[in-house]
Each structure stands twice: as C-alpha cells, then as structure tokens.
Structure 1
C-alpha cells in the first residue's frame, strides 16, 4: 500500500502512542489526543538563469489536547516530539484545561477508529535542490524563448515535499499517513514599447518532481501571457460571462461558508441551521466535496480529528444537501462528522477539493448556450485577483479584478483592466450552462461555467 497508515516508515506511531500513554498515566491524565504534521521541504526560485532563492526546511506542528476530571479541555502546541517535549505539552494542556470553555467542549470523533480508504499515493524520493535548480533554470529559459515580448518570469518556483500526518487518542485511535508532493509555478511578464506590461502564469502538481508536466506548464504560461498582449478597454455594463474552471472554483471557495457548519453556528455563514433542503442554485448544478478524488494531489485519508475523508454532496440539483462538519458541529446538528475538521485551539472546518458540474440527467443547461452564437459580446473571466480583499464572505458580495477576454463574433481580445461584481447567491441562480470537459485544477474539478448578467466595470 503506497499510502502508509500503519507507521512503518518515518515517525513511529506505535512508539509515540506508548510514550504518550506512559507520560499521561504518570501525570494523572486519562483522556488526551494528539495531532501532528511534519514535513521536509526543498524549494528553488530563479531569476534570468541565476539562483534567486534556495531553501530547505524541516517543519513540525503538534497540537495536544487534554480533558480534565471536570470534562474541560486544555490545548497546547509544540514542535518537540521527544519524551521531554511531550511531557511538557501534556502537562501544559492539563494546566490549561482548568480554564477551558464549558460552553464549547470538543469530544473524540466517533469515527476516529473507523476504516480508512486506501489511497494510491506513491512516495517519490526527493531529487535534491541542485537538480531542482537546473530543471527550473531550463524551464525559465524555455518560457523566455517563447515570445520576444516575454522579458522576465518574475514569479516562479519548483518545490518538493515529504510530509507525514498523525492522529492519536487515548481511546485507541491511531492514524498515520505519509505523502510526497512536488509543485511547479511559472508566472511570465511581457512588455512592449508603449503598452502596459501583461502577465499570466500556470501551475502543475505531482507526487514527485519527475512526474511534473513541465512542458505543459511552460506552454500554458506562454500561451496565456501572449494572449493578453493585444488588449483593449471594456465598457462598463452587464455582460454574459464564462468563467474558467480555476476562476469559478476560486469564487465558490471564497464563499465556502455557505456549506460550513462551524460558520453557521458562529453566525458568519450565508446559510442557517434550517437551510438544508433549500434550493440555492439552478436545478442542474451539483457541487461535491471529494478529498479522495484520484486527481487530488495531496489527498488526506483522514481529517484533524481522525475522521475518514469521504465524498460529500453539498449541492445536488441546486438543493443544499449537507454541511461540512467537525465532531462538535456534527454533534450540534445531530449528524455524523464528515471529515473536514482541522485540529487547533479551536477546531476549524473547511473544504478539501470541490467537484462542480451538471446534475446527471439534467442536460447540464447546455441548451442555454445557443444564445452565444449571436453577436452579443461575452466576457471570458480567466483568473480572479484580490480574493482576500474583494470578497465579503458573510454578506455574499464580491468585487474582484480579473484577467480575461472580451469575445465579439467569436473573436477574443484581452481586456485591459476590469472588475466583476455580484452576489454569490445570485450567481448560483444565474448559471445558464457548462461547456467542455471538467478540468482538473489544484482546487478541484470543474468545466467552464456560463453565467448571465454580471456587472463588469472597465477601467476609467
């Protein structure tokens, strides 16, 4: 089994458990758990054929929770997995439990010992920093040669990581997973006399650097950059838009509080406790969270509480079917945890990897695309920017700069500068169809998405 859940390599989960049990018994601690994430990272960046940055790092993050005799919980964090470090962490958590919040007491996930799915995740040995450097130099040189206007590749990076995750608790849970990943990012900048600089990029992920589609990343970055050279301003108005898979996944991810049970309980979600079963989108839209998808590089077999990861229907036929849950939120809603918890001082909840597409048998709204054979202008939104600043997640509104093209009579021309604004709830009900096969991206799986009547503001 390529995905190690038994601790045969790297950290020894069984030895760690034995040490924790011994320390806990000596300190009168009967109930505890531990979540750990450790990694070894190597990365390089280049600038015009020379090394710009070469980094290697070993990182570890360990969270320990202890329940006292009154049932209150104390939490500590450490990076020390030695016996001394663990004793200090357990003792600190025990002392902190006296100040635990009696209104928010987490418990062990009832699924922390349930069987896990087997993931086909081959472990690739690292190539080493010098090999990465030479590979990235060659990629940069190739990208610079694709067009005379491409002057620099200001943002780039090639990285390898070997990581390991653990979850242990005093009720017998013992989870462990090892993973190797590699990533490549190329972002080119093109300059022409008397014209504004134009930029675009591409990214690739794989289990090892040898498996990265370097040629595809270079070609995509070059093609996207070159396609923006011939630009013109756009008039402010309302347009029918087509979102690239990456752009639509970014938009849905920015408003994932719609599906987040923790956000619902905290009063910062677009949904409420009674929203399950409501129609929130067009009747041919499905959204699933599927961290186990084979194309999800970096998939986790379990979440921060040891709950198995699974495919979960969020929207089916436009109807809200499930929320993302941790143990605590699932208990509050009277359901089972869904495998979306992050362990920390306060347990968080978040999505893994979205699958977005047409409801089976619905036709996918494709008939709605016929109108775009007419001469009306269409805006193709390729990538969104400033998601951290332009999204009001708890209100549903957004105003985001984007890169894209204005299409007239089937001919695309890059847009000089513009923003797209709207409300995610209106967007989900204004989808009129999908186009093309679903594309695998780092954030999920999605086709191109057509949306009617969005507000586009051109540069003044």
Structure 2
C-alpha cells in the first residue's frame, strides 16, 4: 500500500514538538478494496476504494485527553488534527482520567506484522469470478430467477499505533470475500431466498464456486415449506444464528457497559454461573481460522485469545486500559477509540465443555417436533440489549421425525440470559463462520410464533 506510516509518525512527532504537545498517541487504519457484482451474467457494480484515517489523542498539562479524527494526512491536516485534539482536551472529564495502555509505555512491545500480502487482484479477475458463480446459480435451474445480492472482493489493510513514548506497532492483512443470495420461485409458491458468505486469507484461498454451490443448496432447502403453529419448542440454533445473538447482546461481556450501568450483568456476576455448565465462550482474535486477525487494539494493547465463560461461569469481562484500571485488572486488548472509549469482541469462539458428562446425546436427524433456526433477522429492531429480551424473525426449519422442513415465516422470542442457562446440548462439530466459530446449540425451550 502507498501509505507511508513512518512519514506520518515523523510529521506528527515534529508537529507535536512545535506545538509544545508532550503527550499524544495515534491509531490509524488504511484500506484498499476492490469488488465486483454481476447481474444477468454481466458486470454490475464495480467498485474500488482507498480509505485512510487517524484517531488522535492529545493530553494537556492537567492530564485531560482530547480526541479527534482526520482523513487529511497532509502536514497541514495533521497539524489541524493535533491542534483540535489539544483544544478539545480542555472540555474532557477531570474525574475519568485516561492514560496510555500499560503495554505501550516504551518501545519494548513494538511490532510489525505482515501476512505476506499477495499481488493485487485485477478488477477483471473479480468480474470473471463473480460472473462465473452467478451463471452457475442461474443455470442450475429455471426456478432460480436472479441473484440480487452478490459480490466478490479483495481487500488490503494496515493498522498502526504509535505514541509519544516511542511505542510503534504495525500490522498488515489481506482478505478476500464473496457472497451469493439467490432468489428462487416455484410455480404457485412464494419466492424464497437464502445464501452463503465466504471469507479467506488472500484471494488464492477463496473458493468462489464453492460459495455459489452452498448458496444453491441452502436456497433449495427452503423451496418446500410449511406453516407452523405458535407454541413453545425445543430450539436448535445454527452456528451463524447463535453467534449473531451473542454479538447482539455483547454488552454483557463489556466492562465499559458495566461501568455505565448499561449491561445485563454487573461486577457481582464475575466468577458466578451465568450459563449452562456445558458452555465455554472465548474471544479469539488470533485464532488460526480467523481470516482477519487483530494483533493490537486501538490504544496499542496486544491482543490474545481470552476465555470469557468457562463451564458456564463468567471468568472475565472484556477490558480497555481504562476499565482495567477501574476493575483492578489488566486490559484484554479490546479498546476502540473515539469521543468515548468503547469495547467489543473480535472473533467469538463457542465450544462444548467436555468435562461435563451428558446423559443424552442429541442429533438433528433424531429430533422430532423441534425448530432449527438457521438465520435470525432484524437484529437492529428485535433485540432489547438492556432488558435482555428478543423477538426475531428467522429462516429455519421444523424438524419432524429427523427430517427438516422449511418454515414459511416465523418469529422466535425469549430472554437472552435464560437462553444461556437453558442450553441442554452443544454439538461436537464446530463450524467456522465469518463472525466466529460455533457448533449447533440446543435450547430447552423457546417461544415460536408461526402463521398456522
């Protein structure tokens, strides 16, 4: 990538000295991305973009910190950013004093990570791959009318952090991705849509045709459908659906939300049972299967794989350096800078606690009168993250005598913490998704509203 990070660091060091600024830090990100879509076997929606920005924190003599962001990386733009951050520090809180991460006090943890980026893929390559995949879907059967949502893309990115004490960290990454969501309709039936998303480390590892094949299979599974009666059902969440639910209620992992009293939990829940004893949960930004690993957070703290729930017990929250100080612990490397520091997980990993003996093994092909939730929808509207309740439309199946039958439309509802406690089984087979890793998850009972 063309961005000269060393020059930006040198410029900011020089500007800070000239302005008399003694304490500052900078997080930056740069991305070059190209993508292509197809429509009726022709190129459609070709895009290339290059984006760079900095988040700048400056401390004044009272140790108040001001924050600003800029995408103007010229010398003049950097000067304006430091002046603005310094002037805004005057209005910062004097009660909550932010500081550098304890892991960024000097140059001992400096790092530069390169993931052996490939040569850039041409737009022609992206177009050809996308058209070939879309054509395969459309040619598979006349019932496949279109592929309204499709894309193949390639992205190169850099993340970097430096501060006035000499800390300096850079990481580079290259990911490729594709997704296909076909629309299919049989005679005298409603149109049905499903799809698949694939992400890989580098374009050479991206199997676009395989993604299209999976999209075809998923869509075909929903062509024959039924209505179901409303009631309480044993419910099985797919890996994708369960991870979506965890991210939607991510405030229960978040130490900043605990301090702000905007979480389902509080500090007294630490080291207590909050879920079924067969559940283990970790955040694994450096997992070998994570296509977009994050090696440090936005205040420069090195990340690592963190166990959050073990045997159903909450053993840690996710922390920034500020919340770690408040909780008398160490940062977990989950800080995101802004006018207010925020915290969020990177790559959640749900697994089964094999130490617990389970009297009964469960299998989808042995279930009866159960619901399989393949994909939850409307998370922005159907989740009350502060109360813990959810009511979400979903794509899924009614399981009768071990056979899955697609449901025309239905809604699943419940309480998130109750759901965690009512996990009765976790499959041994884990699935890697673009958001994390999880097996199928069996819930004792949830309310499902159907149309029958």
Segments of structure 1 that go 5 or more residues without pairing to the other structure are 1-8
- Aligned partners of 1:366 and 1:434 also within 8 Å: no
Structure 1 residues 27 and 433, CA, compared in 2 at 3 Å: closer, same or farther? same
Q: What per-residue deviation string (whole Å, max 9, x for no partner) do you get for residues 210-262 of structure 1?
A: 22122221111001100100001011011111111111111111111111001
Counterpart mapping for 1:60-459 below 5 A: 60-112=52-104, 115=109, 121-363=115-357, 365=358, 367-369=360-362, 373=366, 376-459=368-451
- Tell me the SS of whatever aligns to 1:53: strand
- Aligned partners of 1:117 and 1:308 also within 8 Å: no
Structure 1 residues 448 and 89, CA, compared in 2 at 3 Å: closer, same or farther? same
Q: What is the alpha-carbon distance in structure 1 between the residues aligned to residue 128 and residue 192 of structure 2?
A: 27
Q: What is the alpha-carbon distance in structure 1 between the residues aligned to residue 374 and residue 125 of structure 2?
A: 33
TM-score (norm 1): 0.94
Q: What is the alpha-carbon distance in structure 1 between the residues aligned to residue 219 and residue 5 of structure 2?
A: 48
Residue 17, structure 1, aligned to residue 19, structure 2: no
Q: What is the alpha-carbon distance in structure 1 between the residues aligned to residue 334 and residue 416 of structure 2?
A: 23
- Tell me the SS of whatever aligns to 1:235: coil
- Tell me the SS of whatever aligns to 1:336: coil
Q: What is the alpha-carbon distance in structure 2 between the residues aligned to residue 347 and residue 331 of structure 1?
A: 14
Report the Cα offset of residue 18 of structure 1. Answer: 2.5
Q: What per-residue deviation string (whole Å, max 9, x for no partner) do you get for residues 284-334 of structure 1?
A: 110000100011111111000100111111100000000001111111111
- Tell me the SS of whatever aligns to 1:247: helix
Q: What is the alpha-carbon distance in structure 2 between the residues aligned to residue 138 and residue 371 of structure 1?
A: 34
- Tell me the SS of whatever aligns to 1:141: helix
TM-score (norm 2): 0.96
- Aligned partners of 2:137 and 2:212 also within 8 Å: yes
- Aligned partners of 2:111 and 2:170 also within 8 Å: no
Q: What per-residue deviation string (whole Å, max 9, x for no partner) do you get for residues 267-298 of structure 1?
A: 11011122111100111110000100011111
- Tell me the SS of whatever aligns to 2:175: strand
Q: What per-residue deviation string (whole Å, max 9, x for no partner) do you get for residues 156-198 of structure 1?
A: 1111111111111111110111111111010011012211110
Q: What is the alpha-carbon distance in structure 2 between the residues aligned to residue 120 and residue 412 of structure 1?
A: 45
Residue 49, structure 1, aligned to residue 38, structure 2: no
- Tell me the SS of whatever aligns to 1:304: coil
Report the Cα offset of residue 436 of structure 1. Answer: 4.3
Task: Name whichever of 9-18 and 228-237 sits farther off.
Answer: 9-18
Report the Cα offset of residue 71 of structure 1. Answer: 1.1
Q: What is the alpha-carbon distance in structure 2 between the residues aligned to residue 287 and residue 302 of structure 1?
A: 21
**Across the two proteins, how many residue pairs are aligned to each other?**
450
Structure 1 residues 120 and 35, CA, compared in 2 at 3 Å: closer, same or farther? closer
Q: What per-residue deviation string (whole Å, max 9, x for no partner) do you get for residues 120-160 of structure 1?
A: 83312221112211110010001112233111100011111
RMSD: 1.8
Q: Which residue of 2 aligns with 1:3?
A: none
Q: What per-residue deviation string (whole Å, max 9, x for no partner) do you get for residues 8-52 of structure 1?
A: x75444433222221111101000011111111111111111222
Report the Cα offset of residue 373 of structure 1. Answer: 3.7
Q: What is the alpha-carbon distance in structure 2 between the residues aligned to residue 116 and residue 403 of structure 1?
A: 46
- Aligned partners of 1:206 and 1:212 also within 8 Å: yes
- Aligned partners of 1:291 and 1:309 also within 8 Å: yes
- Aligned partners of 2:16 and 2:82 also within 8 Å: yes
Structure 1 residues 430 and 76, CA, compared in 2 at 3 Å: closer, same or farther? same
Report the Cα offset of residue 455 of structure 1. Answer: 0.6
Q: What is the alpha-carbon distance in structure 2 between the residues aligned to residue 372 and residue 140 of structure 1?
A: 32
Q: Which residue of 2 aligns with 1:4?
A: none
Segments of structure 2 that go 5 or more residues without pairing to the other structure are none
- Aligned partners of 2:279 and 2:426 also within 8 Å: no
